[in-house]
Amino acid sequence: MKRLLPSAILFIISIITFSQCHHPIDDEKTVVPKDTVKTEVALVPLPDTIYPSVENLEYTITIFDSLTDGNLAQLEDLYEDVPGIFTFRGGPYRDANFHGTVKGRPDTVVIDWVFTTDFDKRETKFGSWGGGTGWTGQPLYVQWPDSCVERFRKESPALTQHFDKEEIIIGSLDAHLYFINFQTGDSSRRSFYVGNTIKGTPSLDPQLNGNLYVGHGIPCGHPFGALTFNLFTHRQTQMFGRDVRAWRQWHAYDSSPIRVGQFLFRLGENGTVYKYLCTGDTLKLHSTLRYHAKGRGTAGIESSMAVYLNYGYFSDNHGNVICINLNNLQPVWHYFNHDDSDGSPVIEIEDGIPYLYTSCEIDKQQVGNGYLTKLNALNGEEVWSAAVEGCKTTYNGKHFDGGFYATPLLGQGNCKHLIFANFVRNTPPMSGDFMAFNKQTGEVVYRIPLRYYAWSSPVAFYNENDEMFIFTGDTTGYIYLIEGKTGKILFKKWVGNNFESSPVIIDNHIVVGSRGQEIYKFTVGGS
């Protein structure tokens, strides 16, 4: 196995300590009780390998904390047993493992409640962003353990009379964090103003230390960047704004951070991967990776990083798909997937081997193909790449890219052989399809037209016969229930807003935000 030692790596030794939270958390007090004892299996780190494809990159790894060992202290999935949905698509595989259950054949979707956000009228050079949620905008769901509930009641100044154990947390285009009682739709805490539009999905620390990680999406004022919010004190405890070392000066953070071992990984649209040491509820910058493909400028990262053991995977605005070793941030392999890639990579294990599904848009091409691609996640070798024709279009004076915006959905149950994705066709303008692909070959099994294109990532339900049903929404406000195996639309209804954001599922319920001012909770019923 060839190992390359790039001369481009620069190590800068310094220590940066960020502001301390006012109430450090004793992690032992907030451990989620376990009902069963699992058999511990020793996880072995993947090798510190550099494949020849890394020669396509120029990069710099900067160490800010030379006193802390960068190796991951543990490789276990910290999100596996959390009481809820704490990050985009649920966990490190980004595989939407929060699928729901229904009885029989679902054929109805009813509205349980509607929560209304504020509306931000501020004009920016990127327009006015209003309220509700944008892409990816996924809500978080948490069922708080008693120990956390007690701390909130003692320490938080923001709880309302509607606070309860089950809570929805969501960032809004109106620059607020909202907290919603899952059962009733009432405000469970006072909202928190973060100053700038939130487009992406926040991330709740799986160690239940009170930290909520949030990224700004569009600058309406300063500072602009990434922040940490403490749920126990209802205060912002860290703000990381303009990074003068960044190779791209656009400091938005649509990517949803991920915690692995003792480190938090945060990806920026300034083309930087940030690695923070987490101690209790405090963060300390450990190291950064800055990179670009040779001969090209630095791209922004909007995808959320997928993780398998000590390897992390992400795509960027230039179509680079990169695997890095999380121990040292060293790139392991590189793959070029044709065009702007915003949807997050998804990992699935087959016969003990991890495979990565990644997709791209039709942006730089104008007219061409969006590609859904399957890679061997260990070495970056292409298994197959499915090309789907589409184009970029202009409508009412604005341009709209084609291709894959949504993160793919892995099939399970009677659809274990399939992977699903929403595709923006734009032929005619603003058209889109829901598509099913064969996991082994990349062949299109079926495609069904939606009323309009969809950016929202689909989610799944399974019934008592292990039959798969899929929920998705489009950007004119239609919602759909689709039979996974056949593509038959079982339910279709216009609700009235743009469902650009991705939903979460709890049992037979769906929570999703819209580009109006509404956050919806739906219930799915079956016959």
Judged against a pLDDT cut of 70, whether residue 5 lies above it is answered with no
β-strands 330-336, 320-325 pairing: antiparallel
Q: Which residue has the higher pLDDT, 351 or 41?
A: 351
* Per-residue model confidence as pLDDT tens digits over 374-387: 999 999 999 999 99
- Residue 436 confidence (pLDDT): 98
Alpha-carbon span 165 to 35, nearest angstrom: 18
Sequence spans of domains, the chain:
27-526
Alpha-carbon span 273 to 302, nearest angstrom: 11
Helix H or strand E segment including 139: none
Judged against a pLDDT cut of 80, whether residue 27 lies above it is answered with no
Q: Which of 21-35, 78-92, 176-190, 409-423 has the lowest mean pLDDT?
A: 21-35
Give φ, ψ of 122 to 5 degrees.
-60, 135
Grade residue 41 by pLDDT with cuts at 50, 70 and 90. low
Grade residue 397 by pLDDT with cuts at 50, 70 and 90. confident
Helix H or strand E segment including 446: strand 444-449
Cα–Cα distance list, 505 to 77, 134, 236, 291, 509 (Å): 20, 18, 28, 36, 6
User: Which residue shows structure tokens 């606070």?
Assistant: 163
β-strands 402-403, 468-473 pairing: unpaired
Q: Which residue has the higher pLDDT, 443 or 2?
A: 443
Judge whether 16 and 284 are in contact, CB under 8 Å. Answer: yes
Which residue, 443, 454, 327, 431, is CA-closest to 387?
443
CATH of domain 27-526: 2.130.10.10
Judged against a pLDDT cut of 50, whether residue 85 lies above it is answered with yes
User: What letter does residue 39 receive in the DSSP assignment?
Assistant: P
* Per-residue model confidence as pLDDT tens digits over 490-514: 999 999 889 999 999 999 999 999 9
User: What letter does residue 376 receive in the DSSP assignment?
Assistant: E
Grade residue 39 by pLDDT with cuts at 50, 70 and 90. low
Can you give the pTM of this predicted structure?
0.91
Grade residue 523 by pLDDT with cuts at 50, 70 and 90. very high
Chain mean pLDDT for the chain: 92
447 beta partners = 435
Q: Which of 125-129, 207-211, 416-420 has the lowest mean pLDDT?
A: 125-129
3-state secondary structure of 128: coil
